[in-house]
Structure 1
Amino acid sequence: MSLHQPLTLPCGAVLPNRISKAAMTEGLATPDGRPTPELERLYGIWSDGGAGMLLTGNVIIDKDHLERPGNVVIDREPDADMAARLKGWAEAGTRNGNHLWAQISHGGRQTQKLVNPNPKSSSDVALALPGGQFGKPTPLTIDEIAELVQRWAIAAKACQGAGFTGVQVHAAHGYLISQFLSPRVNLRTDEYGGSLKNRARILLEVVSAVRAAVGPSFPISVKLNSADFQKGGFDFEDSLSVVKWLEEASVDLIEISGGTYEQPKLMGVEGMEAEEAQNVAPSTAAREAYFVDFAKAMQAEVDVPLMVTGGFRTRAAMEQAVEIGAADVVGLGRPLCVMTDAPKQLLEGLETLPRYEDDLDLIPNWLGFLKSLQMMKAINGFAGIYWFYQQIWMLGHEGRTDDQFPVFKAFRIVDARNKSIMKARAS
């Protein structure tokens, strides 16, 4: 089976090929969360890059729970200006005939203090991270949960009306829905806590509300952790059960990922604790792509199409993942921050994508003893992530990238930019 082959989703929509631009946070919205010409430029470039589908970064349903400063926010019915901006973004992002899906999300306890020192979550369990960047959360009330479920539906309907061709509910990476799914974070004793069915209740309610809002022929995706990779967290057996429920709930594509801020497996950053092993058979494909084996194990038990993102760099591994039935869609993230036409090049025969992250060290080699410290490994990894943020900023503002941009400079610039956005937001 080729990467060129179209994929017909359960709702009837057709993806023109098997490569997707994975969701990556852009940070290019106005301080109050409106799309900008820079977002249009960025997604126009990616639309021209050859992927069959583009997934946006986090579109947030609560302005007080951003994933990062500069997120697009849809927390109510859009006014005329917002509707026009969403339409411009959608038009740019679909100009090459590809799909553009909005990833709809809520930061929950993973909202920085810089944005909100008192975030809401499933329970009052704070993030176990050093540095004091995240406040202790307050549990959501039943009424607040019901309101958020409807906000997901409002945001999905707004994106559909603007010309987006699908939506993705973000239920992975430790954001709000993922916080409900995790028995380590969700300590509730009401109908949203305890059993897996109760912990998954908010996700299934969101999917139901979104489906009612957009109708039967509009693609709905869910991004779900294969596991949190934390002791006592959401594990693979939990994930498989939730995937089965999502298939019954008319979801068209499930993206299999993994990890949280505390255990950021997808980002290639070491967590603050040992990774919890999962009961999944290994394969050669997983040497390159992080979550292939989890998806393959799921495909043996469900029919819903699956997408796998994380680690793919060779066309051979991508084609193998599709051929062995592990992935119906292959997601690419970081390479597209620099090589924006990577999908087109792969479809034309390119064998290997560059691994830019291999050379992004904030700590010089002569300070090797620092590199061995667990906290410094995390800091070094996140500095590399900021380098990709800077590439995205340059694409949006200048239509170019710079693979020689200094890592430390990118770290300082992005951090200052985040603070500047929040200062403007408060004024």
Structure 2
Amino acid sequence: MTADFLGQPLHLPCGATLPNRIGKSATQEELATPLGHASPLNVTLYRRWSEGGAGLLISGDVMVDYSHRERPGNIVIDDNGGMAELREWAAAGQAAGNHLWMQINQPGRQTPIDVQEHPMAPSANREGLPAEGFGMPRAMTGAEIEDLIGRFGKVAAIARETGFTGVQLHAAHGFMASSFLSPLCNTRDDEWGGSLENRARFLIESLRAIRRAVGPDFPVSVKMNSADFHKGGFDMDQSMAVIEMLNAENLDLLEISGGNYDAPAMIGAMGGDQPLARQKAERTLRREAYFMEYARRVRPVANMPLMITGGFRTLDAMNGALAENATDVVGLARPFCASTDFPAKLLRGEIGEVPMIEETMLLDREAYIGQLDDREFNLLESNHQLAWMYVQLTNLGEGKEIDWELTLEKAPQAFADLENAREAARREARGELEHAQ
């Protein structure tokens, strides 16, 4: 068991070099201070990840507008200070000589209703949004679109100034840049909507603003979905067409996320009389097989280096994908919430697979028979897993180890307790700020 391909450096078009091919995709850590600054927990967590051996760490998404945040614990860069904290975070996250890139985002219509009752979006529609938690979006004016493009460039410049070694624009998962691409979300009839070329204009212009802000020798990346998996939405053929447009934009890395194909419902229910260990192994093989197929389809289209994220769990599959040039970086996210040093163990050949939260942290399906159908149960289990991961990221940020005694059933309450304590701290901080003003 060796990691020959996984351990090779990657030379990027801008001249920078990643020390190996393991990439931590963005994870939302929920650890910012009440003012939206990087906290000591961010610093500790990213130092541990840096020392864990991955060649590339991509941060949780940093917001460019305090009035449009995805979650209360987001780090925000919006004329609200925090530069010293950003520098400390950047230094800690590359302590072992790896790269740390800042992911830049604006959630658009996925801004929660308790942050914005009517968030900015390409168009005023709720197509594809959950029934609760989000208000009716309002269509952006042309001036607001231009302002947001400028904000992306400004934050990218701050990332470079404060010591990050690259930036990534988040254009996946239904956030602002992603929703501009979707014909369901974007029903505009001006230069920002309609044809795919017009719907991609926001992404392209944002990338150009970022490149102007950071210069030619600084890594610039995009994260984009292969598809949004909504009927009539942004599909795989459109994704391929946008990748061809991105070939002309001097990208250093294109990250393709698998989106919902990582969900159990998308890989088929496993069951019957097979032993549980075999069920898990077959699920893993099927998931990895899907991502290999997609990577092979993208590779001939994309001229820039690729990072394929989602699905990869075994050393053999990772090495195989790299060996045949299907991808240049193997992207992982959930495993980093259960271990800080698995990349180094993979590179040393000490382990043959990464922590599999989606296979080991499971609810008892029998307890929900007659209450939830398969889709509802899968969603419930996924939400419980997310709560479990948020709690573990806090533990890691506090310098603790993973709490394996925390069950999936108890994870939502444990996360709620954390959130309640943080909200109390946020209210206190807001009160002190208002008093000082």
Output the TM-score relative to the length of structure 1: 0.90
Q: Which residue does 1:49 correspond to in 2?
A: 52
Q: Which residue does 1:407 correspond to in 2?
A: 408
> What does 1:363-374 correspond to in 2, within 5 Å?
365-374=366-375
Q: Distance in 2 between the 1:415 and 1:195 partners?
A: 43
Q: Which residue does 2:200 correspond to in 1?
A: 200
* SS of equivalent residue, structure 1 residue 216: coil
* SS of equivalent residue, structure 1 residue 46: helix
> What does 1:249-264 correspond to in 2, within 5 Å?
249-259=249-259, 264=260
- Contact 1:371–1:377 (Cα < 8 Å) also in 2: no
Q: Percent identity?
A: 45
Mark the CA change 1:360 to 1:107 in structure 2 (over 3 Å): closer, same or farther. same
Runs of 5+ unmatched residues, structure 2:
267-283, 432-437
Letter in 2 for 1:396: G
- Contact 1:236–1:294 (Cα < 8 Å) also in 2: no
Q: What's the CA shift for 1:386?
A: 1.2
Q: Distance in 2 between the 1:353 and 1:298 partners?
A: 25
* SS of equivalent residue, structure 1 residue 89: helix
Letter in 1 for 2:304: V
- Contact 2:243–2:301 (Cα < 8 Å) also in 1: no
Q: Which residue does 2:26 correspond to in 1?
A: 23
> What does 1:304-383 correspond to in 2, within 5 Å?
304-349=304-349, 350-362=351-363, 365-383=366-384
Q: Kindly provide the CA deviation profile for residues 402-424 of structure 1, in whole angstroms up to 9, marking residues without a partner as x.
A: 12312233212323444554562
Q: Which residue does 1:59 correspond to in 2?
A: 62
Letter in 1 for 2:11: T
361-370 or 381-390, which moves further after superposition?
A: 361-370
Mark the CA change 1:56 to 1:265 in structure 2 (over 3 Å): closer, same or farther. same
48-57 or 380-389, which moves further after superposition?
A: 380-389
> What does 1:25-174 correspond to in 2, within 5 Å?
25-76=28-79, 79=81, 82-126=82-126, 128-130=128-130, 132-174=132-174
- Contact 2:103–2:170 (Cα < 8 Å) also in 1: yes
- Contact 2:156–2:213 (Cα < 8 Å) also in 1: yes
Q: Which residue does 1:218 correspond to in 2?
A: 218
Letter in 2 for 1:229: F
Letter in 2 for 1:372: D
Runs of 5+ unmatched residues, structure 1:
272-283
- Contact 1:104–1:155 (Cα < 8 Å) also in 2: yes
Q: What's the CA shift for 1:124?
A: 1.4
Q: Kindly provide the CA deviation profile for residues 364-393 of structure 1, in whole angstroms up to 9, marking residues without a partner as x.
A: 533333343533431221111111111111
What is the aligned length? 407
- Contact 2:127–2:185 (Cα < 8 Å) also in 1: no
What CA RMSD, in Å, does the superposition of the two structures yield over aligned residues? 2.0
Q: Distance in 2 between the 1:375 and 1:72 partners?
A: 31
Q: Which residue does 1:386 correspond to in 2?
A: 387
- Contact 2:357–2:385 (Cα < 8 Å) also in 1: no
Mark the CA change 1:252 to 1:110 in structure 2 (over 3 Å): closer, same or farther. same
Q: Distance in 2 between the 1:130 and 1:399 partners?
A: 35
- Contact 2:18–2:99 (Cα < 8 Å) also in 1: yes
Mark the CA change 1:324 to 1:94 in structure 2 (over 3 Å): closer, same or farther. same
- Contact 2:291–2:312 (Cα < 8 Å) also in 1: no
> What does 1:410-425 correspond to in 2, within 5 Å?
410-418=411-419, 421-422=422-423, 424=426
Q: Distance in 1 between the 2:114 and 2:258 partners?
A: 26
Mark the CA change 1:291 to 1:140 in structure 2 (over 3 Å): closer, same or farther. farther
Letter in 2 for 1:94: Q
* SS of equivalent residue, structure 2 residue 405: coil
Q: Kindly provide the CA deviation profile for residues 18-69 of structure 1, in whole angstroms up to 9, marking residues without a partner as x.
A: 0011110010001221001110000000000000010101101111222222
Q: Distance in 1 between the 2:144 and 2:294 partners?
A: 33
- Contact 2:258–2:310 (Cα < 8 Å) also in 1: no
Q: Distance in 2 between the 1:219 and 1:169 partners?
A: 11
Q: Distance in 2 between the 1:54 and 1:305 partners?
A: 16
Q: Kindly provide the CA deviation profile for residues 281-315 of structure 1, in whole angstroms up to 9, marking residues without a partner as x.
A: xxx97632653322321211232100011121100
Q: Distance in 1 between the 2:421 and 2:134 partners?
A: 19
Output the TM-score relative to the length of structure 2: 0.88
- Contact 1:120–1:137 (Cα < 8 Å) also in 2: yes
Q: Which residue does 2:278 correspond to in 1?
A: none
* SS of equivalent residue, structure 2 residue 123: coil
Q: Distance in 2 between the 1:188 and 1:118 partners?
A: 17
* SS of equivalent residue, structure 1 residue 222: strand
Mark the CA change 1:358 to 1:302 in structure 2 (over 3 Å): closer, same or farther. closer
- Contact 1:224–1:258 (Cα < 8 Å) also in 2: no
Q: Distance in 2 between the 1:147 and 1:269 partners?
A: 40
Q: Kindly provide the CA deviation profile for residues 119-166 of structure 1, in whole angstroms up to 9, marking residues without a partner as x.
A: 111111215455511111111111111111111111111111111000
Mark the CA change 1:192 to 1:258 in structure 2 (over 3 Å): closer, same or farther. farther
- Contact 1:61–1:105 (Cα < 8 Å) also in 2: yes
Q: Kindly provide the CA deviation profile for residues 166-209 of structure 1, in whole angstroms up to 9, marking residues without a partner as x.
A: 00000001111000000011011111000011001111111000
